[in-house]
Amino acid sequence: MEPTLLVFDEEQQVMDLGTTVEAEQNTRQESKERETALRIQRDIIAALCTTTCPTQQELLEIVKGKTTTKLAVLGHMVADGRVKEESEGRSSRRYRAVVPAEKTLEAGIAITPTVRVMDSFLEKFRGEVR
């Protein structure tokens, strides 16, 4: 039998078998990896907001973490359209944050929620830097 966690139900005063130790460890590892990816995304956006069109190498130096993880997160951000990649020849790539253009509703009302969020993020970020 695999090592398994015991779960105590206080209401019924009963112990039951929970998940396996291995499954619990996998869940914790996935959670940690997800948190790391989110931190790297925030750091990339912050770097793009403070640096004018940084190269891939500059982004890798600014953002902390494993290079493979940073490249994977950056690749997902490019694929999702949150970051724009511009190539300058074969070896040099530069990146910019993408802010969606305003959309117009059928009634002719313009909405720019992403721009407002980005503006408030920049104001807060600049305030912390000073």
Q: What is the rounded distance in angstroms from the CA atom of residue 113 to the CA atom of residue 98?
A: 13
- Two structure tokens written together for 80: 């999702």
DSSP 1: -
- Two structure tokens written together for 20: 């396996």
- Two structure tokens written together for 54: 């940084």
Closest C-alpha among 33, 100, 81, 92 to residue 59: 92
Residues 13-23: tens digit of each pLDDT: 888 888 888 98
Domain positions in the chain are: 4-98, 100-130
pLDDT of residue 107: 52
Residues 62-104: tens digit of each pLDDT: 999 999 999 999 989 888 888 888 877 666 777 777 765 544 4
Name the pTM for this structure.
0.60
Q: What is the rounded distance in angstroms from the CA atom of residue 80 to the CA atom of residue 87?
A: 18
Look at residue 122 and tell me whether its pLDDT is greater than 50.
yes
Residue owning tokens 């209401």: 11
Fold of 4-98: Arc Repressor Mutant, subunit A (1.10.10)
